[in-house]
Structure 1
Amino acid sequence: MSKKRPVAVALAGALCLVTTACADSSTDAQAPAGDKAAAATSGYPVTLDNCGVSEKFTKEPGRVVVMNGASVAEVSTLLALGLQDRIVANQQTYGMSEVEGRAAAIKALPTGEVKLNDAYDIPREAMIGLRPDLVLSTTSYGFDEKNGFATRAQLKDVGAGTYVSPQGCDQDTSKMTVADSYTLLRDMGKVFNKGEQAEKLIAASQKHIAEVSAKVAGEKQPKVMVLFSNMTMGGNDFSSVVAKGIYNDILAKAGGSNAFENASKTSFADLSKEKVAATDVDALVVIGYNDPNPAAYAKTLLKEFPQWPAAKNNTYVALSDSMYLGPSNDLAVEKIAKALHPDKF
């Protein structure tokens, strides 16, 4: 029942350094008056300081490649901004979503029809052949030459901009929060001249989360086990258990806490069955990554550990992309809060 993924290390999103939209003074000084007027109207040029690399965009990218990275954060963000027509190759999919129509919309995107490497992603030669002007990667892993990928410098040489998502610079996603999802939205809004739309999405998400959090404020925080459905990342029986990262921020906003937060210093814990059995678990959150039935997996675990309060109360939530870096974290907050504190809704 397990699924081994070579890119399990990339199950997270990416630390972007502080990003700014600004004009390049030397370029502007040399630009004709008409070009400067067009730039002022469009908001270009836009410069992002991304993982120590300065990326300048003088117009909206028209040929975007979205790398796999075991994520849907980047493709979902583009879809939320209405940019699906810019994507020439997408390798991200969960096969499901809390947002109606999103899974089908992702499935309908072009893949570039390239032969993927052993990490289920786009190798260097194929990437160059796609003629991108922007390549999005969940972490810096996607631009590592040792992994057979095109580097950011190599892509720049062929006219392609690159972007690593928040908390992905050093591939350490343990400090990721919901705010990083907003950073990703805001950055893509700048790059594609969709800043106003991005801010509206961020404001709506913040408002929704604040309303839910207010309902559960002051309540006892149940201990929640978060794990990926039917996925193996290590050597123990439970190697896809979440310890840290954006998941904990979502739990806190929903009025819960992570039962295994101290089980690892990194994002994921590799736990024995005995350790899991000895921990009081008040609720389960099972994340379906290309698993068609995470709810069935949750029910199996509740039967396996009948001593858990979660099993006695049949308390679980099956989620997919909303529990992850991306534009829909507010949906996860609401669904988890309703499961943990049903009397408040």
Structure 2
Amino acid sequence: MKIKRTVLVAVGALCLATTAACATPTTAAEPDARAGTGYPVTITNCGKDYTFTKAPSRVVVMNGGSVAEVSALLELGLGDKIVANAQSYGDSEVPGRVDAIKKLPTGDIKLNDMMDIPREAMIGLAPDFVISTYDGGFRAEAGFATREDLAQIGANTYAPQSACGEVGTVSHKPTIEDSYAMLRDLGKIFGVGDKAEKIIATSKDRIAAVEKKVAGAPEQKAMLIIPGMAMGGEFSSVGGNGIWNDIMAKAGVVNTFAGATKDMFASLSKEQVAKADVEALIVVNYQSPDSDADAKALFKEFPQWDAAKNNRYVVLSDSIYLGPSNHVAVEDIAKAFHPDVF
């Protein structure tokens, strides 16, 4: 049993829940009521203080394999502030999100080997605010403009607090609160803090409604896998410790492989996967031509899974990661794996 959102149903649900989701994504945000007197504002990011005397107007969004940052800006109605965006994913549970990202300017930048913006090109964009998906996006040794480089041309810099620290390290247990923290930071920086709080409140309400419904339902054991992102083996992109564990828990699901590694992804053998108790499957679409076929292929390979016997899976994309749409993933997972309570 697979849950698939139709555009009309998804748009209707989002419109009822929040006006932000139904606004044109690239429309300028309504300024916070305190914007005229709220500046300067100072935020602490990755251990340093950054002061903003006004809302940024020339924003550059680096790639880093994320869409959390650009999606958050669009959710806040700040698309017109972006002069160059390097983020894209190609799929989304949020109606209109993919097209909205495609319409953003790219700055006509020739990206480097990491598909990101190199130092000289970044400086040439003359930004006043640069967002990286992680603190390593400002490393000189990787060919990027450093925070110091950008400060010299008058640009403040930001990475989500959950992505601060050494490259490749996980400093804490990721949760949906990390997505809310990013929205709050950006709301404060751009003078739209009230709008950020409304988006967060709506998300919390929708998640709370799901948690109430699944509270008495038997917990499902699920495997999360990103078939198109194998990093060294067929089962090297199995979800280990990521924000998805919190998302799954709120939907009445537990990650079968949460204890298999301390890292974000578990690299497993076929034997480990075959022996696992998999009652449900979460397939994360990453540049896959047919995610349904990916699920069916796994069920054919592991027919002993309860998930295979019951054809129990759901396909997700950007909502399972850090970003403004985690409540959508909670809803879709819960509806797919606990349909009797909806």
Provide the TM-score with structure 2 as the length reference: 0.87
Of 230, 233, 256, which aligns to 1:232?
230
The structural deviation recorded for 1:228 is 1.2
Aligned CA distance change for structure 1 residues 295 and 42 (closer, same or farther; 3 Å): farther
> In structure 1, what is the equivalent of residue 215 of structure 2?
217
> In structure 2, what is the equivalent of residue 130 of structure 1?
125
| Rounded Cα–Cα distance in structure 1 between residues aligned with 2:39 and 2:248 | 38
**Residue 217 of structure 1 aligns to which amino acid in structure 2?**
A
Q: Is the 8 A contact 1:166 1:181 kept in 2?
A: no
> In structure 1, what is the equivalent of residue 46 of structure 2?
51
| Rounded Cα–Cα distance in structure 1 between residues aligned with 2:115 and 2:67 | 14
The structural deviation recorded for 1:220 is 1.9
> In structure 1, what is the equivalent of residue 256 of structure 2?
259
The structural deviation recorded for 1:96 is 1.1
Unaligned runs of 5+ in 1: 1-37
> In structure 2, what is the equivalent of residue 156 of structure 1?
151
**Residue 51 of structure 1 aligns to which amino acid in structure 2?**
C
Q: Is the 8 A contact 2:55 2:189 kept in 1?
A: yes
The structural deviation recorded for 1:292 is 4.0
Runs of 4+ in 1 over 6 A off after TM superposition: none
Question: Deviation digits for residues 263-286 of structure 1, max 9, x if unmatched?
Answer: 101111111111111111111111
Of 182, 185, 188, which aligns to 1:184?
182
Q: Tell me the matched-pair count.
A: 307
> In structure 2, what is the equivalent of residue 67 of structure 1?
62
Q: Is the 8 A contact 2:224 2:255 kept in 1?
A: yes
Provide the TM-score with structure 1 as the length reference: 0.86
SS in structure 1 at match of 2:43 = strand
The structural deviation recorded for 1:40 is 7.2
Q: Is the 8 A contact 1:93 1:290 kept in 2?
A: no
| Rounded Cα–Cα distance in structure 2 between residues aligned with 1:104 and 1:172 | 33
> In structure 1, what is the equivalent of residue 101 of structure 2?
106
The structural deviation recorded for 1:120 is 0.7
- Spell out the pairing of 1:1-345 with structure 2 (5 A cutoff): 41-170=36-165, 171-173=168-170, 175-234=173-232, 236-345=233-342
* Cα RMSD, aligned residues only: 1.4
Q: Is the 8 A contact 2:35 2:191 kept in 1?
A: no
| Rounded Cα–Cα distance in structure 1 between residues aligned with 2:64 and 2:142 | 12
Q: Is the 8 A contact 2:228 2:287 kept in 1?
A: no
Q: Is the 8 A contact 2:34 2:191 kept in 1?
A: no
| Rounded Cα–Cα distance in structure 2 between residues aligned with 1:40 and 1:233 | 45
| Rounded Cα–Cα distance in structure 2 between residues aligned with 1:75 and 1:261 | 28
SS in structure 2 at match of 1:263 = coil
